[in-house]
Amino acid sequence: MTIRMDLLLCGGTACRASGSEDIREALKKELARHKLENEIRIIETGCNGFCAQGPLMIVQPENIFYQKLTVDIIPHLVEEHFLKGRPVKKLFYKEPASEETIPTMEDIPFYSKQKLIVLKNRGVIDPENINEYIARDGYVGLSKALLEMTPEEIIQEVKLAGLRGRGGAGFPTGLKWEFARRAEGDVKYALCNADEGDPGAFMDRSVLEADPHAVLEGMIIAGKAIGAHQGYIYCRAEYPLAIKRLNIAIVQARDYGLLGKDILGSGHDFDVEIYQGAGAFVCGEETALMHSIEGKRGMPRPRPPFPAQQGLWKKPTVLNNVETYANIAQIMQNGGAWYASIGTEASKGTKVFALTGAVNNIGLVEVPMGISLREIIYEIGGGIPKKRKFKAVQLGGPSGGCVPEQYLDTPVDYESIIKVGAIMGSGGMIVMNDQTCMVDMARFFMDFIQDESCGKCTPCREGTMRMLEILKKITQGRGEPGDIELLEELSDMIKDSALCGLGQTAPNPVLSTLKYFREEYEAHIIDKRCPAKRCAALLHFEVDEGKCIKCGICFRHCPAGAIRWQKKETAFIMKDKCVQCLSCITNCPSDAIF
């Protein structure tokens, strides 16, 4: 059998949700019909990153990028391209500049502006085939660490790299490993936090689906560095594809002698198990995660002692997240100085972000530290859909804050992001346009935090509930003078007295929106008006005859049949039928509804 072409079909969760499994079956059927199954191979990869354009496929060796595939187009694609050698232009991301130019991934700004370290294998290997990982220098860093370096040298290389934890806090990884290495104890553990729970975040899931061996390799190296022989990956059960591919990778690594006893003849023993979490956001906190693995309720405990001295089952423990571990093998292979040459003075390397919300190019991006928010949102993200105006970007999820337009040129690094009232977090980046109500957005995040609070400490349990009550009251038009000051007072109290990071950062979305969008709170409370037209209780729906362009779009989108419209006539809203769903306001191209 001679393979002349590989079809790298994205098989991440996002592409599967948009039909990639049906595309795969259609391709198999058409290739068999044309007797091409022995010449053309279909390889299902992990997440390719460009989620907005899925399902995606790369044709190798021509490096042709196809997007938004459908089952109906597959017969035409197979016949035109794979039989006749004529690439199908209408499936390109953009039309070529000339007949001789065929766009590749490198021609698309979404890809060309990125720098891949953690995501180096995304969309180009079969994550269920260890040989493809090895073919791209997989386990080279491990062999160097196990056979040529002492634990102290491994830690020193990580410290030289300047790698900071990518789970949110940004604590120096090498220093954390050094603490655990020096801690007394015959039994130590290396844990991986894959419990990703921020709304809009999918970084860890995508890495595990596309490149699970990179995480295993980093964990084995960490085990050697701190003297641990057992590792646990804490992954939420809502990630079935990530768990499936992790299990396959673990079995393959054991079969190849890369997990278990005497790895590569080095004398180092290390094995990994997966622990499935039940989706509790608080279990992203390190001590709550450890309690959960121990079979207890996931609740944080006071520190000190810190996990490096007394963690899982009261043994010295290192906990890093998926992205942090995925950097380690390449640091071992290429050296800490290589990694430190990327990024800024205090924030080295790259950062992976899940770019979502009101942005054209939704997807997974990896950028060097120091790049500006504007570059990510407008050059990689392609700007705001429907020519709407940018309003803010939420960084760090429920624990983070909003960055308004005047700070779009802020460099993406730990220190700069904190200065403007947000945090790096694990990598969630939610873009908001001028139709976003910042009071309602703060209410959404506070609702999430209050629901996810473990209830152990009173400031978080009761304080967040009271803040949520006030925010709901404001968005429902019942806000009173003094509510803003009370929110600020409660925020300070919770930040100063909550037990864990979840509670201590819970007020951040409220504080950042009060800092930059205080006038919206005042409009809700004093004028009983929602400037963004999102809080239904404050809206009275009318059509502005002067602005209405008589297009009927609001009529077609109204789910309640509350809009009367005929061709070339102004729309009219029947208030007795209106359910205040906001679909008319959201879809009106001329802002004619008020």
* Separation of alpha carbons 278 and 158, rounded Å: 32
Classify residue 151 as left (phi > 0), alpha (psi -120 to 50) or beta.
Answer: alpha
Give the pLDDT of residue 549: 83
Tokens in use for 333?
């292979």
* Separation of alpha carbons 520 and 148, rounded Å: 60
Query: By CB neighbour count within 10 A (0-12 exposed, 13-18 middle, 19+ buried), where does 445 fall?
Result: buried
On whether the CB atoms of residues 33 and 81 are closer than 8 A, the answer is: no
Please give the C-alpha separations between residue 577 and each of 148, 379, 559, in angstroms, as whole numbers.
74, 43, 10
Does the global pTM surpass 0.75?
Answer: yes
List of the chain residues with pLDDT < 50: 97-98
With CA atoms as reference, report the closest residue to 370 among 351, 343, 349: 343
**β-strand partners of 173:** none
SS3 173: helix
Q: Residues, the chain, total? A: 594
On whether the CB atoms of residues 454 and 493 are closer than 8 A, the answer is: no
SS3 384: coil
On whether the CB atoms of residues 10 and 55 are closer than 8 A, the answer is: yes
Give the pairing of strands 64-66 and 189-194: unpaired
Peptide bond into 305 cis (omega under 30): yes
Q: What is the 3-state secondary structure (H, E, C) of 253-313?
A: HHHCCCCECCHHHCCCCEEEEEEEECCCHHHHCHHHHHHHHCCCCCCCCCCCCCCCCCCHH
With CA atoms as reference, report the closest residue to 18 among 363, 308, 344, 254: 363
Give the pLDDT of residue 95: 54
**Around Cβ 22, how many Cβ atoms within 10 Å?**
15
Domains in the chain: ranges and CATH: 5-107 (3.40.30.10), 130-340 (3.40.50.11540), 350-433 (3.10.20.600), 438-527 (1.20.1440.230), 540-594 (3.30.70.20)
SS3 408: coil
With CA atoms as reference, report the closest residue to 272 among 231, 319, 313: 231
Rounded to 10°, the helix 483-497/458-475 angle is 160
In sign, the C-alpha dihedral spanning 483, 488, 489, 495 is: positive
Give the pLDDT of residue 168: 76
Classify residue 44 as left (phi > 0), alpha (psi -120 to 50) or beta.
Answer: beta
In sign, the C-alpha dihedral spanning 114, 119, 125, 127 is: negative
* Separation of alpha carbons 226 and 209, rounded Å: 27
* Separation of alpha carbons 401 and 442, rounded Å: 9
Give the pLDDT of residue 1: 58
